[in-house]
Amino acid sequence: MTTESLLPRSLLRCGLVGTGHWARITHAAALASTPGIEFAAVWGRDAVAARALADIHGAVAYPDLSAFLDNVDAVVFSVPPDVQSEIAARAATAGKHLLLEKPVALTEAAADGVVRAVEDAGVASVVFFTGRFQPKIRAWLAEVTSSGPSWSGGSAAWLGSALEESNPFNTPWRREKGGLWDLGPHVVSMLWAALGPVVSVSADTGWADVTHLVLHHEGGVSSTATVTLSAPPAAAYVDLYLWGEAGRCIAPMDNDDGGAVAALRIALTELADNARSGRIEHPCDVRFGRDVVRVLAEAERQAWARSAGRLR
């Protein structure tokens, strides 16, 4: 089966699942402004919010998920990961291409289920690890993975303040899962791309939701990462670098090349290109998303065990 039979139109008709803050400021804006994409439909658990968002962009709001799926070629997600994984598997089974948020799921079993549905249906998939679609970071990754200096390791720190009471990203799933699951996918994805596949992880916790990771990469190098959503706003900070004989090479994490909307336009374009050509593989496809979930799930298991005193 090829995806060409699933895509009868020149425009990729995309439907948005989700109506929250991130959906409104990023996903809807990108869907409405990407060449080759038709922002056709919206579905959300809040039907009133779905209608309001659809009206702004000339899309159709569907109260019924089945009707929504019947009227799109691809589904773009902006909902909590546990909600996403269930609907994504259903959408893939219905032959719809997927643009997923990170993490793709909150358990290995749920991530495996989405992968199986995508592979069985032969649909295209892209996971929106934001930095992996930003031109400056892509250029940096191309530089550090070229046949230049060899790297001995890497380090990342992402100190976020999303759990501040007034922050629009202070949502139930982030309060429950913390920086490991919200920011961890970004840093794991970046360090994986820069230093090679992660083959094992060690994890421990600190204050609040602070999580410390040691990533062991294929080939023997290691990297470290610290993530939290509980940092005071004055301490908010993001940094990622590689180190070796040539010194340190710092990733351009300043996000000043168009922001998340511009990055999502690139992700949408690449999903559409794959859908039209019948290609199902992408460096950030659902299989890679599942691999990142496996790292996070193992880190979470260790962190919980250590915090409970079961590991010494």
> Is 93 a residue whose pLDDT tops 50?
yes
Distances (CA, A) of 83 to 89, 98, 111, 173, 190: 10, 14, 12, 10, 25
pLDDT of residue 237: 95
pLDDT of residue 159: 98
- The torsion defined by the Cα of 46, 49, 54 and 55, in degrees rounded to 10, comes to 140
pLDDT of residue 9: 52
List, by residue range, all CATH 3.30.360.10 domains of the chain: 135-254
Mean pLDDT on 225-237: 97
Q: pLDDT tens-digit profile of 119-147? A: 999 999 999 999 999 999 999 999 999 97
Could you please state the CATH topology (level 3) that the domain comprising 3-130+260-285 is classified under: Rossmann fold (3.40.50)
Residue 289 in 3-state DSSP? helix
pLDDT of residue 308: 77
List, by residue range, all CATH 3.40.50.720 domains of the chain: 3-130+260-285
Q: pLDDT tens-digit profile of 172-202? A: 999 999 999 999 999 999 999 999 999 999 9
Beta strands 198-205 and 211-217: pairing type? antiparallel
Q: Which residues of 84-102 are buried (b: 16+ CB within 10 A; e: fewer)?
A: bbebbbbbbebbbbbbbbb
End-to-end CA distance of the chain: 51
Q: Which of 44, 89, 95, 93 is nearest to 65 (CA)?
A: 44
Determine which helix (DSSP H) or strand (DSSP E) holds 248, and give its type and residue range: strand 247-250
Could you please state the CATH topology (level 3) that the domain comprising 135-254 is classified under: Dihydrodipicolinate Reductase; domain 2 (3.30.360)
pTM, two decimals, is: 0.94
In the sheet that holds 222-228, the strands lie side by side as 198-205, 211-217, 222-228, 151-159, 237-244, 247-250
Q: Are 187 and 225 in contact (CB under 8 A)?
A: yes
pLDDT of residue 5: 43
Q: Are 39 and 14 in contact (CB under 8 A)?
A: yes
